[in-house]
């Protein structure tokens, strides 16, 4: 049967708040910061927006439950607004569902906004976890991702050094990025000697826990042209979801994330593209090893060979396939519901050449990728954007 395309859907504006410990800003403040940049970027007024999708993972402390939280944040009242949630892919899911509604021809201009306040939550005590399939068993995110990382290191005979190099690269990129959370250059030695969280992940192998918001304005291509807006097209989106049960285990034969492989294949197929067509990517580096697995799962390296990419500098800003020029979750930060949209913000701005000179990647085909991975690796979303023509 025929496969649909999203080729009539384009991005006309993006925005992103400063990421970090934003104790002095509310949930709504952060959303406004990202939204204001996006509508100025798109050159539209709020009233031109016909519908919205909100990405927030944890409701609480000022917002996140229902579409009303987006309505109250940007004062967009009387419009259709949906909240979506899909673990760490929540932000990209807001974008994906917004894109479908535009492709359906129901709306001309819509907003996808991801907002998450994580620092206040932590400082006020962890949320109840008695409902959570993993946390209730005493497992944590580092512990979950550590299992396949250890198996990978064992099978492909590497030590912690390639992992440390991922952290060093992403901090180097993030240090050049004014909106990043942890703008600090770090050394391999610092990563290797940092306090151990869950072997093989030390403190500096783990991404930041961050407050932030990010936003994209989507439109029908025809409308964007009528309004003479500069735009970037959505070429492909894939989403794959698998079990998140406590007994769920990563695939220890494959040693990676089948959800990412599957989501990437969907996106490549919809776009009619392959990994070699991608100029650069923002990928989900929740832990340093996750980024190495992503290289492989997304098709940039064979399984078991990804660690060589970071050792050889191929994923550096000036490498063959730059990964996380923003600084990634590691340095830019990871406010869950915002991260996917923050990646799209970065990819759009890199494609336009609108980032700091010192962290620009080389644009060859004009095509970039964003990738989210959520839960215990059970949810992955991949978006390919660019202008093929």
**Is there a contact between 203 and 160 (Cβ–Cβ < 8 Å)?**
no
Please, what is the minimum distance in Å from the beta carbon of residue 104 to a copy of itself?
Answer: 4
Nearer to a copy of itself, 4 or 353 (CB): 4
- Give the interface with a copy of itself as residue ranges (CB under 8 A): 1-6, 51-52, 59-62, 64-72, 77-87, 93, 96-97, 99-101, 103-108, 127-128, 130-133, 223, 238-245, 258-259, 262-263, 266, 270, 374-375, 378-379
Nearer to a copy of itself, 43 or 366 (CB): 43
- Find the catalytic residue in 171, 181, 284, 334: 334
Nearer to a copy of itself, 75 or 157 (CB): 75
Nearer to a copy of itself, 179 or 371 (CB): 371
CB atoms within 10 A of CB 247: 7
Give the SS3 label for residue 385: strand
Q: How many angstroms separate the CA atoms of 267 and 344, rounded?
A: 15
Instruction: Please give the radius of gyration of the chain, using alpha carbons only, rounded to the nearest integer.
Output: 19
Nearer to a copy of itself, 266 or 339 (CB): 266
Please, what is the minimum distance in Å from the beta carbon of residue 286 to a copy of itself?
Answer: 15
Cβ density class 68-98: b for 16+ within 10 Å, e for less: ebbbbbbebeebebbbbbbbbbbbbbbbbbb
> Which residues does 381 contact at the CB level (< 8 Å), separation at least 6?
86, 89, 92, 93, 96, 237, 238, 239, 263, 340, 371, 372, 374
Q: How many angstroms separate the CA atoms of 288 and 170, rounded?
A: 9
**Locus of tokens 């000179």:** 357
**Locus of tokens 């109840």:** 128
In the residue annotation, 334 being an active-site residue is answered as yes
Please, what is the minimum distance in Å from the beta carbon of residue 14 to a copy of itself?
Answer: 21
- Find the catalytic residue in 16, 88, 206, 207: 88
Nearer to a copy of itself, 58 or 199 (CB): 58
What sign has the CA pseudo-torsion 384, 373, 62, 82? positive
CA angle 341, 214, 44 (to 5 degrees): 105
Q: For 55, what's the count of Cα atoms within 13 Å in the CB-facing half-sphere?
A: 31
**Is there a contact between 330 and 181 (Cβ–Cβ < 8 Å)?**
no
Q: How many angstroms separate the CA atoms of 368 and 357, rounded?
A: 18
Please, what is the minimum distance in Å from the beta carbon of residue 240 to a copy of itself?
Answer: 6
Please, what is the minimum distance in Å from the beta carbon of residue 243 to a copy of itself?
Answer: 5
Nearer to a copy of itself, 303 or 320 (CB): 303
Please, what is the minimum distance in Å from the beta carbon of residue 368 to a copy of itself?
Answer: 21
Q: How many angstroms separate the CA atoms of 364 and 362, rounded?
A: 6
Please, what is the minimum distance in Å from the beta carbon of residue 342 to a copy of itself?
Answer: 19
Residues taking part in catalysis: 88, 334
């Amino acid at each position: 049967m025929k496969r649909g395309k999203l080729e009539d859907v384009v991005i006309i504006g993006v925005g992103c708040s400063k990421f970090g410990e934003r104790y002095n800003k509310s949930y709504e403040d952060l959303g406004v910061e990202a939204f204001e940049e996006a509508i100025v970027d798109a050159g539209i007024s709020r009233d031109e927006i016909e519908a919205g999708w909100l990405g927030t993972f944890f409701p609480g402390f000022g917002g996140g439950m229902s579409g009303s939280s987006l309505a109250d944040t940007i004062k967009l009242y009387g419009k259709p607004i949906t909240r979506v949630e899909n673990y760490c892919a929540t932000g990209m899911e807001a974008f994906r569902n917004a894109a479908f509604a535009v492709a359906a021809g129901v709306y001309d201009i819509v907003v996808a906004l991801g907002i998450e306040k994580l620092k206040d939550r932590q400082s006020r005590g962890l949320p109840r976890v008695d409902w959570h399939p993993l946390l209730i068993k005493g497992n944590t995110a580092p512990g979950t991702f550590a299992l396949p990382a250890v198996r990978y290191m064992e099978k492909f005979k590497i030590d912690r050094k390639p992992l440390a190099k991922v952290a060093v690269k992403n901090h180097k990129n993030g240090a050049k990025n004014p909106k990043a959370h942890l703008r600090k250059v770090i050394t391999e030695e610092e990563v290797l000697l940092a306090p151990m969280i869950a072997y093989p992940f030390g403190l500096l192998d783990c991404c930041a826990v961050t407050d932030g918001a990010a936003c994209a304005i989507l439109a029908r291509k025809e409308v964007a042209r009528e309004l003479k807006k500069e735009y970037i097209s959505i070429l492909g989106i894939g989403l794959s979801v698998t079990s998140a049960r406590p007994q769920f285990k990563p695939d220890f034969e494959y040693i990676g994330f089948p959800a990412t492989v599957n989501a990437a294949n969907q996106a490549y197929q919809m776009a009619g593209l392959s990994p070699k067509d991608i100029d650069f990517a923002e990928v989900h580096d929740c832990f340093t090893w996750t980024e190495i697995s992503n290289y492989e799962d997304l098709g940039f390296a064979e399984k078991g060979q990804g660690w060589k990419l970071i050792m050889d500098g191929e994923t550096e800003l000036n490498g063959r396939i730059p990964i996380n020029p923003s600084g990634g979750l590691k340095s830019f930060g990871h406010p869950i519901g915002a991260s996917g949209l923050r990646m799209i913000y970065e990819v759009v701005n890199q494609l336009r050449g609108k980032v700091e000179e010192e962290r620009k990647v080389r644009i060859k085909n004009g095509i970039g990728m964003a990738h989210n991975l959520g839960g215990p690796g059970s949810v992955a979303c991949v978006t390919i954007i660019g202008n093929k023509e």
